[in-house]
Amino acid sequence: MKFDTIIIGGGLSGLVCGIECARSGRRTAIVSAGQSALHFWSGSFEFLGSQGGKRIIEKPLYHAGSLDPSHPYRKIGIDRTAALLDRTVPLLAEAGIKAHGSLERNHYRMTPLGFTKPAWLTLDDYLAFGNLSDLEGKKAAVINIYSYIDFYPRFLEAGLRKLGAECTSADVNVPQLDILRQSTTEMRATNMSRFLRDDAVDALAREVEKASAGADMVVMPAVLGIFSDEPVARLRRGVSRPIYFVATTPASVPGVRCQLSLRDLFIRLGGQFMPGDTVTRGDFQGNRLRKIYTVNFGDIPLEADNFVISTGSFFGHGLIADLEKIYEPVFGLDIEAAPNRDDWYDKDFYAPQPYMGYGVVTDTHFRPRRHGETVDNLYATGALLSGFNALHEGSGAGITLATAFHAADQITKE
């Protein structure tokens, strides 16, 4: 079976690259084994949150200039990176997702544990503020759903108080959710979001309105709107105070929404999405990748002019660590990783962990190497790459998206 472009991995990076390739009219396929890291999404994308010993930086684009030259942003070029990332908000909007923010200046989001973190883009409905002083003197009502255990109002309140807000807290319930309590394990955000529709939302709005009397704002766990904006809009209409959500995991409601919306946009643009299939190997001819093979297709090869590998880091199985070595399992691409297992991690749990910086080595066009030779028609994007520690520097989505747009541009402008 022949395509123009085949992308391996359907997480944030593979989807965005696929959308751009399909949009240009290329016959594009995404092969993806299982769901991606987007399912743990906080509702905020990060570009650069801390750098050079500064725990929180305000002007990320400015600081990006002094990153190591091997960092993906520097390899693309800072101006070019910014231009590529400016395409994110319109692309998300096309998929039906509304977000805001700026590369010039970070804003802040709050984690479910009450920590303040810098962010580049945040979903419109989610708790975010431009300055640390913005919440001073505000009265916030932190409202949880009765018996929901993946949300910790006390931590969140402590975080809000630290920023000078006054807090009240309350649990609310609507009868439409009682059904979920029959299995104690099933009181999950994504499950609730299936039942919080139509009149259940009106009932919730009445409860929230009552429980937040006297407050300036409501803060709630993200438990509705998994398939559309309608339940959130409906809740807003029924509550007289602004409502802000905080995403909870496991399986985050905005994350599932984002994954499915991007996948649907890719399919609308003519892309072929093949879920639940694993690419196992490739056929190379000289420095070109000719064909790939998957578990489901057996000996039927998938051919393309260009390939993109966006299989993620350890979490996505783009990298595998066994007791002896770290490797890239599909093609055996060259990676940057310490040979000795003892050097992979730091015993101080909170220190930047070396293994998080490991990944596939590429040239300036993000073409990976195999046995020391660059593969001419293969691009690597996203968390699979080396040269950064996304968790430590707060740069996960920025790198994921910039390299995805960059690869797509090289393929479509060939």
Partner 1 sequence: MNLQEQNISDNNFESCIKCTICTVYCPVTAVNPDYPGPKQAGPDGERYRLKRPYFYDEALKYCLNCKRCEVACPNDVKIGDIIQAARIKYASHGPSLRDTMLANTDFMGQFATRLAPVVNFSLGLKPVKYLMDKVLRIDDHRTFPKYSGTRFESWFRKKAEAAQESFTKHVSYFHGCYVNYNYPQLGKDLVTVMNALGYGVRLLDREKCCGVAKIANRCIDEATRDGENNLRAIREAVGRGDEVLATSSTCCFTMRDEYPHLLHLDNHDVRDHIMLATLFIYRLLDEGKARIAFRKDYRKKIAYHTPCHMEKLGWTIFSTSLLQMIPGVDFIKLDSHCCGIAGTYGFKKENYAYSQGIGAPLFDQIRASGCDFVACDCETCKWQIEMSAGVPVLNPISVLADAIDIEETRRLNGVS
Ligand X SMILES: Cc1cc2nc3c(=O)[nH]c(=O)nc-3n(C[C@H](O)[C@H](O)[C@H](O)COP(=O)(O)OP(=O)(O)OC[C@H]3O[C@@H](n4cnc5c(N)ncnc54)[C@H](O)[C@@H]3O)c2cc1C
Among 124, 186, 343, 363, binds partner 1 (CB under 8 A): 186
Q: Please report whether residue 191 would count as binding partner 1 according to CB under 8 A.
A: yes
| Using rule CB under 8 A, residue 190 touches partner 1 | yes
212 binds ligand X (CB under 6 A): no
314 near partner 1 (CB under 8 A): no
Measured CA distances, 265 to 23, 91, 271, 344, 403 (Å): 10, 9, 9, 39, 19
**Placement of tokens 């399992």 in the chain:** 329
Structural contact between residues 41 and 252, judged by C-beta atoms closer than 8 angstroms: yes
Query: From partner 1, ligand X, none, which one binds at residue 379 (CB under 5 to 8 Å depending on kind)?
Result: none
The residues, any chain, with a CB within 8 Å of residue 48's CB and separated by 6 or more, are 57, 60, 61, 63, 64, 67, 73, 106, 120, 393, 394, 395, 398
Q: How many CB atoms lie within 10 A of CB 383?
A: 28
* Smallest distance, partner 1 to C-beta of residue 61, A: 33
What residue type is 309 in one-letter code?
I
Work out whether 316 is an interface residue with ligand X (CB under 6 A).
Answer: yes
Decide the pairing of beta strands 2-8 and 302-309. Answer: parallel
**Which one among 101, 114, 312, 359 touches ligand X, defined by CB under 6 A?**
312
Segment interacting with partner 1 (CB under 8 A) among 75-83, 298-306, 367-375, 383-391: 298-306
Asked if 400 touches ligand X (CB under 6 A), the answer is yes
12: contact with ligand X by CB under 6 A: yes
Minimal distance, residue 334 CB to partner 1, in Å: 23
The answer to the question of residue 147 lying near partner 1 (CB under 8 A) is: no
User: Does 188 interact with partner 1 (rule: CB under 8 A)?
Assistant: yes
Which of partner 1, ligand X, none is residue 301 near (CB under 5 to 8 Å by kind)? none
Q: Does 36 bind ligand X (CB under 6 A)?
A: yes
**Quick one: what does residue 179 bind among ligand X, partner 1, none, with the CB cut-off 5 to 8 Å set by partner type?**
partner 1
Q: Measured from the CB atom, is 51 or 311 closer to ligand X?
A: 311
With beta carbons less than 8 A apart as the criterion, state whether 335 and 359 touch: yes
396 forms part of the interface with ligand X (CB under 6 A): yes
Q: Return the residue of 116, 169, 278, 353 that touches ligand X, per CB under 6 A.
A: 278
Q: What does 383 interact with, of ligand X, partner 1, none (CB < 5 to 8 A by kind)?
A: ligand X
The verdict on 194 binding partner 1 (CB under 8 A) reads yes
Nearest to 247 by CA among 308, 188, 182, 335: 188
List the one residue from 25, 276, 332, 352 that touches partner 1 (CB under 8 A): 276
Considering only residues 31 to 50 of the shown chain, the ones binding partner 1 according to CB under 8 A are: 33-36, 39-40
Residue 377, judged by CB atoms within 10 A of its CB (0-12, 13-18, 19+), counts as middle
Q: Return the one option of ligand X, partner 1, none that residue 183 interacts with (CB less than 5 to 8 A, by type).
A: partner 1
Rounded Cα–Cα distance for residues 176 and 201 (Å): 9
Query: What are the φ/ψ torsions at residue 178 (nearest 5 degrees)?
Result: -55, -35
Least distance CB 41 / partner 1 (angstroms): 12
> 């994504």: which residue's tokens?
190
- Within 13 A of 143's CA, how many CA atoms are on the CB side? 28
Q: Which of 250, 325, 365, 373 binds partner 1 (CB under 8 A)?
A: 250
Q: Which of 151, 16, 26, 205 is nearest to 97 (CA)?
A: 16
Closest approach of partner 1 to the CB of residue 256, in Å: 6
Which amino acid is located at 138 in the chain? K
Closest CA to 119 of 86, 127, 81, 402: 127
Q: Are 258 and 97 in contact (CB under 8 A)?
A: yes
Dist. CA 242–CA 254, nearest whole Å: 19
The option from partner 1, ligand X, none interacting with 88 (CB < 5 to 8 A, set by class) reads: none
Q: What are the strands, taking DSSP E only, across 102-185?
A: 107-110, 116-119, 121-123, 128-129, 139-145, 166-172
Query: Which parts of 90-149 interact with ligand X (CB under 6 A)?
Result: none
Between CA 122 and CA 25 the distance in angstroms is: 30
CB of 132 to partner 1, least distance (A): 32
User: Which parts of this chain interact with ligand X (CB under 6 A)?
Assistant: 8-14, 31-38, 40-42, 44-46, 278-279, 310-312, 315-318, 330, 382-383, 390, 396-397, 400
Q: Which residues bind partner 1 (CB under 8 A)?
A: 1, 33-36, 39-40, 179-180, 182-183, 185-186, 188, 190-191, 194, 250-251, 256, 267, 272, 274-278, 294-300, 315-317, 322-323
